[in-house]
Each structure stands twice: as structure tokens, then as C-alpha cells.
Amino acid sequence: MPTSGRDRGRRLVLDTSAYSRLRAGDARVLDRVAAATLVLLPAIVLGELEAGFALGVRAAENRRSLAELLAEPFVQALPIDAAVASRYGAIFAQLRRAGTPVPTNDIWIAAAAIDRAASVLTFDDRFRHVRGLDCEIL
């Protein structure tokens, strides 16, 4: 369910749920990644993945797969900088005023995506509460 059509298919931010489904071979995610000109993995997603890897039994294999994806020329890690932090603050305040709880990490991911004019691909419907965010919820 896209919230807007802006930049659809050009810049794609994967949240943790989308990355996990990509690794599992979900055709919907594979198709969207193949159609993107740039795939972005925010530092927050990388941290969530590292936490999962550390708790799992295949940490080395999972880190290797992530490194292979990040080595692709159309894939980039997306750092958190002052501009993203400013967007985070505005989104957090908007959601708080609306009484709409969204997990902190999802707000950071949304802020990073908005800053890069990218669309978030997710399986998490809480992203629909973020005004101005282009997202596709599978």
C-alpha cells in the first residue's frame, strides 16, 4: 500500500522485515529490489540485523550474506546524520501528538528514507502512520 508514487522503483529502503524476506527468497521483495536503481540499508537496519545475527546460530553466514549484498554496486549503507536526526525529531513529535505509537527504530528508518527521497519496503504496517513517507507495505 504505497503512500505516494514519488520515486517509486528508483530508491528503495529495506527495513529489517524486508531484508529478512529478501534472504528467504520472497518473490515480491526480489522483484522490487530488481526494479530499484538504488537499494539503501539504513544504519538502524544494519544494527537490528547485527543484533539478530549475534543471537542466532549462523552469525558468520548471515554476516557474509549481508556483506555480499552491501558489495553490490546498487546497494548502499545509509548513515544517520544531522539531517536525518532533524527529520526523526519532527516525525517523533507528529506521531506523539497524534497518539500514534511507532517503534523508535522505525521512526529512524522513516526519517532516513524521507531524507533520501526513497520508498520504504516493509511488512510492518506501522509505517503507514508516518506522514510524507513513501512506503510499500507487503
| CATH number, domain containing residue 125 | 3.40.50.1010
Chain mean position to CA 70? 14
Q: Considering the domain boundaries, does residue 70 fall inside one? A: yes
Residue 35 lies in a domain: yes
Confidence grade of residue 8 (pLDDT, cut at 50, 70, 90): very low
Percent of the chain with pLDDT over 90: 92
Q: Is 33 within a domain?
A: yes
User: Is residue 95 included in any domain, yes or no?
Assistant: yes
Cell numbers representing residue 3 in the block: 503512500
Residue 1 in domain: no
Residue 5 binned pLDDT confidence (cut-offs 50, 70, 90): very low
In a domain, 6, yes or no: no
Report d(CA 17, CA 19) in Å as an integer.
5
Mean residue pLDDT across the chain? 93
| Residues 6+ positions from 128 with CB-CB distance below 8 Å | 1, 3, 135, 137
Residue 5 belongs to some domain of the structure: no
* Boundaries of domain holding 127: 11-137
Q: Would you place residue 89 in the very low, low, confident or very high pLDDT band (cuts 50, 70, 90)?
A: very high
pLDDT one-digit tens code per residue, 104-138: 999 999 999 999 999 999 999 999 999 999 999 99
Into how many domains does the chain fold?
Answer: 1
Q: In this structure, how many other beta carbons lie within 10 angstroms of the beta carbon of residue 80?
A: 17
The answer as to whether 21 is a domain residue is yes
